[in-house]
Chain A
Amino acid sequence: MKENNNRLGWLFASPYLIYSLVFFLIPLVWSFYLSFTNWDLIAPEYDFVGFDNFAKALKSPGVHAAFWVTYKFMMVFVPLVIVLSLVVSVLVHSLPRLKSLFLIGFFLPYLSSGVVSALIVKGLLSFNSPVNTALRKIGINIDWLGTSWSALLIVGMIMAWKFTGYYALILTSGLESIDHEVYEAAAIDGVTGRQRFWKITLPLLYPALYTTLILAFGVTFGIFTEVYQLTGGGPNNATNTWQMEIYSQAFKNLQAGYASAVALLASVATFISIFIIRKLLEKWGARNGWV
């Protein structure tokens, strides 16, 4: 293509350009501006308060909770979802028939609403539910959503339930791109079973696995619906995610200025964490000679 399409290029890209100006750049600048004010979302007047919002946020228990809860979710969600999706993809991949039927079935939770999932889990964990009735018979009596550790665990499990099918799809297409001859050659050398998985499948699957890991880590910074619906961030801030904290400060406590400062801190925490996680994952892959 020798001709230049300057005008046409800008014209075709214009929907994105307008969108990113109105719903990305302007809000971004505005957010910085708001974080130095004490605005309450409604009143026409407000004052500049310098770094007060940030100072307040750094001392607030809600923000501390949001910071740590993110990593706690990570520790529940990431291993669970990665192991589950690996199991599902390896298992389904080995089936000669009904492969797509299985994959689509596992994918169903990803497409359904977090509100619906939350409702079902709430029902399954209510006091007189079949699950709790059975558990009480063997002496286990837990208020699942009213206890800190179990509330965290439950929300982490709901997220894993939701994302397993999606990640399994990514991993399956990774598995399918592995050449069959590699396995045959390995079989001749006597590599089978578990060794085959660790020495051949996993290294060749690493690119797909890397994608899923990055996606999974990313998910933990954006949990809202399930928490909002099930625990409201409680009990005692045990499930208070960044999104939950920002939502409650801005739209419940009407502290838009302060919430903007919290959102800024959340973004910084997210940026740094994701950066470190990427570096660690790359190092891990390189050390094992997978990249």
Chain B
Amino acid sequence: MVGSKRSRKSSLAIRYIIAGVLLLVMVYPYLYMVLNSFADWTQVDRKLIPSSYTLKSYTWLFTGGETGITRPWLGAFVNSIIVSLLSTFLMMMFGVMVAYALSKLKWRGRDTVNNFILFHMFFPAIILLIPSFLIIQKLGWYDTYWALIIPKGVSLWAIFMYTNFFKAVPSVFIEAAKLDGARDFQILYKIMMPMSKSITSVVFLFLLMERWTELLWDMIMVRSDGMLTLNVLLSQMFGPYGSYPGPLYAGSVLLSLPIIILFIIFGKNFQKGMQVSLK
């Protein structure tokens, strides 16, 4: 084993380099997006790292430039925020409620509901798309926020995650609280929620990002310009802005902004929560 210390050190350095290069390859495209959104228009999609920069893409995005047609980028951004936050809030709230019923309450029918959820989870969702569209129309929700929020207000995955997590919380806590006269809603919000902080941040981030980047549903359920979400608007502009890639990159940066912000806020909790939730 002579010299093993040195070889271990150099192999560690090699591993860091490989991991770093791999990471760079995976993350570079997003850097490319940011750089191109600020790049001089003669250099957009021409260089890996542009050499001269301008804000033209951003001003063009909001004014429509020479086409003179402005698209509701800011409105769509606001729509996305409203829709994603409310949907995610409902998904978390209902997820916690249903999970509490499935893990900590005893009632006739619980096993049936549990099995039914499993069946529901593994059902290919695509078959539901067309009739869901029709139900939305029948409810009079077509082209409204309701269509974007309510049907996306329950997440089977969130129910599943919280159910598993709650099952691991000892019932002693709940019984003690009950002796102190706590009601079930209080137990849920004063005991169960604080105890599940670590997975809550993971569930929140996943649900929010999934909702933020949803395309098919948001595309089908609304029609008017004022109702579009940012993801759908960006998707629709692929064709019309075909010869203006700069503004498209600027729009993409706008769409990706929340991810970056969330990562900065949740980054620390994230790995811890991930570890808990994957076990």
Q: A-side interface residues toward B, CB under 8 Å?
A: 1, 3-13, 15-17, 19-20, 22-24, 26-28, 30-31, 34, 41, 87-88, 91-92, 94-96, 99-100, 102-106, 108-109, 111-117, 119-124, 126, 128-130, 133, 161, 164-165, 169-170, 173-174, 176-177, 221-222, 224-225, 228-229, 242-243, 246-247, 250-251, 256, 259-260, 263-264, 266-267, 270-271, 274
- The answer to whether A106 and B98 touch (CB under 8 A), given A120-B32, A243-B216, is no
Interchain residue pairs with CB less than 8 A apart (23)? A5-B106, A9-B107, A12-B100, A12-B105, A12-B184, A13-B101, A15-B153, A27-B131, A28-B123, A31-B130, A91-B19, A91-B22, A92-B19, A100-B271, A104-B270, A115-B215, A123-B44, A123-B45, A124-B29, A173-B278, A176-B275, A266-B124, A270-B124
Give chain B's interface secondary structure class: helix
Q: B-side interface residues toward A, CB under 8 Å?
A: 12, 15-16, 18-19, 22-23, 26-27, 29-30, 32-33, 36, 44-48, 94, 97-98, 100-102, 105-110, 113, 116-117, 120, 122-132, 134-135, 151, 153-154, 159, 171, 175, 184, 205, 209, 212-213, 215-216, 220, 231, 234-235, 238, 245, 248-249, 252, 255-256, 259, 263, 267, 270-271, 274-275, 278-279
Give chain A's interface secondary structure class: helix
Sample of 16 further A-B pairs with CB below 8 A, known A28-B127, A106-B23: A5-B184, A9-B110, A20-B117, A20-B120, A20-B154, A27-B128, A28-B128, A102-B23, A111-B209, A113-B213, A121-B29, A224-B216, A243-B126, A247-B216, A256-B130, A264-B127
Instruction: Establish whether residues B279 and A173, one from each chain, have CB atoms under 8 Å apart when the complex forms.
Output: yes
Instruction: Establish whether residues B128 and A31, one from each chain, have CB atoms under 8 Å apart when the complex forms.
Output: yes
**Residues of A contacting B105 with CB < 8 Å?**
5, 8-9, 12
Q: Which of A106, A177, A222, A274 contacts B126 (CB 8 A)?
A: A222
Q: Which of A13, A130, A176, A250 contacts B130 (CB 8 A)?
A: A250
CB distance from A46 to the nearest CB of B (A): 12
**In the complex, what distance in Å separates the CA atom of A259 from the CA atom of B102?**
36
**In the complex, what distance in Å separates the CA atom of A20 from the CA atom of B124?**
14
**Residues of B contacting A225 with CB < 8 Å?**
213, 215-216, 235
- The answer to whether A112 and B128 touch (CB under 8 A), given A13-B102, A16-B154, A88-B22, is no
A228: nearest residue on chain B (CB-CB)?
B215
**Residues of B contacting A20 with CB < 8 Å?**
116-117, 120, 154
